Structure 1
Amino acid sequence: MTCETYIDPSPVNFQAFKDLPRDTPINMLNLLLYRDLADYPEGHEHAGKGWSGKRAYEEYGKTSGPIFQRVGGTILWRGSFQTVVTGPEGERWHDGFVAQYPNAGAFFAMLKDPEYQMAVVNRTAALVDSRLVRFAPGEVGDGFG
């Protein structure tokens, strides 16, 4: 696995996201790699509690969940990592899920919500690496094409 890690979007990637249509449904693939020990900023209410990264992410889910639901978000799929079949050797994740938003505007509304901005500290403290990849929803069925 590469030594570079990603918690927040780069300015270039975030601009590419913002440049896409905002009025169509989006699916966001989330891949999560938790820290052994959550890394909260000094003085934060959860600093020094000895929480694992997974526990800090659970707190993120608890505190951001109502905002996610308020903007119309739903979880389409959730799973626990087992192995990479095609990809870099040694790449690993703890958990993954696909979140669906009614449109990109809903995602932006969540990011701008003051309660969400307080909750996201838990996500940052929880993760050593992550991926957030936007997809346009497609048709489902029994074939690959």
Structure 2
Amino acid sequence: MAHLTINTKTLAALDQDSPVTMINFLRYRDIAHFQNREELPCTGLEAYQRYAAKALTLVESMGASVRLVSAAAAVCAPEGESWDDIIIVDYPSVRSFIGMADSTEYQSFCYLREAALADTRLIACQGNASFALSGAIGRKHYTDDHYQFAAPKDNNNASPRW
């Protein structure tokens, strides 16, 4: 069963003013399914790239930043579960993410995302991905300064998939 709709009850239960990192797991359709819209036929990946081009501008205008875009391989998952890409985005607050998702601008192109994806997971992590690690290395807290998923913002090595 595909999961393409955001669970607003879960979002409402989060601290609205706290930073949030959204982890997106994406599985593309072979052929994008536009339903009753006039669009040029394309693959799911191509439809997602159309969506991403519009979403990136809006995401950045909300003060958010893309941390990671990468091909994904499920190594600890139910047999047969697979994802094509993973995207991690840091938002300044849950409220800003909801504001972006509810905006008229986003609503005007989010159909591209739905057309592109066979399935997805969107995981909200409060606190902008600061990690607390324990065990053999003791109880140290690693922040974005010590544990980075992506190159610094001034690095122009953007993924061609985004």
* TM-score bin, normalised by smaller chain: 0.7 to 0.9
Q: Which residue of 2 aligns with 1:19?
A: 13
Tell me the distance in 2 between the aligned counterparts of 1:38 and 1:144. Answer: 48
Q: Indicate yes or no: 2:10 matched with 1:8.
A: no
Provide structure 1 residue ranges, at least 5 long, that are not aligned to the other structure.
none
| 1:45 aligned partner | 38
Listed as ranges, the matches of 1:1-145 within 5 Å are 4-9=1-6, 13-42=7-36, 44-46=37-39, 49-82=40-73, 84-136=74-126, 137-139=129-131
TM-score (norm 1): 0.85
**What is the TM-score with the length of structure 2 in the denominator?**
0.77
User: How far apart are 1:66 and its partner, in Å?
Assistant: 1.3
The size of the alignment, in residue pairs, is 135
RMSD across aligned C-alpha pairs, in angstroms?
A: 2.0
Find the residue that maps to 1:15 and give its secondary structure.
helix
SS at match of 2:75: coil
Please identify which structure carries the higher helix content. Answer: 1
SS at match of 2:78: coil
Deviation at residue 62 of structure 1 after TM alignment? 1.1
Q: Which runs of 4+ in 1 moved over 2 A?
A: none
Specify every segment of 5 or more residues in structure 2 that has no aligned partner in the other structure, as ranges: 140-162
Write the distance in 1 (CA, Å) between the matches of 2:104 and 2:69: 26
Instruction: Determine if contact 1:78/1:98 at 8 Å carries over to the other structure.
Output: yes
- 2:148 is matched with none
